[in-house]
Chain A
Amino acid sequence: MRNVIVIMLFLVGTLYVSAQTSIFKKFEDLNEVTSVVVTQEAFKLMKGMGGNTPEAKEYQELISGLSELKVLVTENSKIAADMQTSFNSYITSGKLTELMRVKDKGSNVSIYIKKGSKEDIVNELAMFVNDSNSTKKQTVIMSLTGNIDLNKVYRLTEQMNIPGGEHLKNNKKR
């Protein structure tokens, strides 16, 4: 009996760990998924650019805190359903909390955060977008990690043209 419990715990443990780390790995290699990964190195390189205007300063400040940006996009409905399941378990296991949910003309956007040390600073921003509005059905998962200032992050999503990013802008008016 005790053995069974130990095995069960072990299984749950591995599931827990793999759910966190493999969500992107699992989908990144699929043929019908488009993935973008921007690493900390890129943010380090971008930090030096943009000049000395106040806007650039703000941008540099935001960038210097970032660790990694990952985006997954698919138009395959089966993979999309799978993504939804994985994303949900990722949210639960990673203890992320919902920041906002937007439903707008057939597109559903949910944004989750992992709270950081200060108010308005979060350690992770995760977004799930289900877009059935346009002619092409699209499902997007985005995860941004690091020290993120919620009041500034929409600038980045704007600049990188990430689908659903415009909803983060509204967050500022909160």
Chain B
Amino acid sequence: MKISNIIILVFLLFGISSCDSSKSLQEYIVEKQQDNGFISLDIPSSILNLKDENASEESLKAIRSIKKFNFLGMQLTDENKESYIVEKQAVKDILSNKKFKEIFRVKTGNSEVSVKYLGVEDNIDEVVFFGADNEKGLAILRVLGDNMNPAEMVQLLNKINIDKESNEFKTLNSIFDKIK
């Protein structure tokens, strides 16, 4: 009787701990989208247009490999200092999962930026930009895609136009204006 209780307890503990550790960035973002302290934005990849209408098959393929952008931000005010510290740690904990491969990180006195990705080197599923500034707030930008190739992406950068008339772009712009 006692032994079986212990076994059940052990299983329960394992169950709880595995649930905890598997909280994904996706879940975190969905959860915070309901939170008034956060600004969130889903940007479809249609915001990107190719400058050249007769673009090569390659650049078409590259642009199609981007599915959408996810933005989540928290602007620091006098009231939310404490929750900023909590949320910053929460995001960092999620991103410290080994499946996120770190590309680089930069840290200065008050702010830090890191870029990580999911997938393999020439076949990227997701790129995550994380930035936090102890005076401004924090921001996460996810670029979600399917088989994104970094070399093609860099070439693509010169060939795309961002649709500046789209609502998503205007919203994003106003967010950045506020943060400045």
Contacts and interface: CB of A to CB of B under 8 A. Distances in A.
Contact of B103 (A34, A35, A45, A48): A45
B154 to A, nearest CB: 5
A31 B102 CA distance: 22
Contacts of A32: 109
B151 interface: yes
18 contacts: A33-B109, A34-B106, A34-B107, A34-B108, A34-B109, A36-B104, A36-B105, A37-B105, A37-B106, A39-B101, A39-B103, A41-B101, A41-B102, A41-B103, A41-B121, A45-B103, A45-B121, A49-B154
A38 interface: yes
Nearest to B102: A39
B interface bracket (residues with beta carbon within 8 Å of A): 10 to 19
Interface of A: 28-29, 31-39, 41-42, 44-49
B110 A31 contact: yes
B117 interface: yes
Given A35-B105, A39-B103, A42-B104, 10 more contacts: A29-B107, A36-B104, A41-B117, A42-B103, A44-B121, A45-B103, A46-B150, A48-B121, A48-B122, A49-B151
Contacts of A28: 107
B45 interface: no
Contacts of B102: 37, 39, 41
A104 B104 CA distance: 31
Interface of B: 101-110, 117, 121-122, 149-151, 154
A145 B105 CA distance: 17
A36 B106 contact: yes
Contacts, number: 50
B107 A35 contact: yes
A89 to B, nearest CB: 23
B136 to A, nearest CB: 16
B36 to A, nearest CB: 31
A34 B112 CA distance: 9
Contacts of B117: 41
Contacts of A39: 101-104
B9 to A, nearest CB: 36
A1 to B, nearest CB: 45
Contacts of B149: 48
A37 B108 CA distance: 12
Nearest to B110: A31
Nearest to A74: B109
A35, A45, A46, most chain B CB atoms within 10 A: A45
A25 B7 CA distance: 40
A29 B101 CA distance: 20
Nearest to B134: A31
Lowest 5 CB-CB distances: which A-B pairs, in order?
A48-B151, A44-B121, A45-B150, A34-B108, A42-B103
Nearest to A69: B104
B109 A31 contact: yes
Contacts of B122: 48
Nearest to B108: A34
Contacts of B151: 48-49
B150 to A, nearest CB: 4
B150 A48 contact: yes
A42 B101 CA distance: 9
A34 B150 CA distance: 27
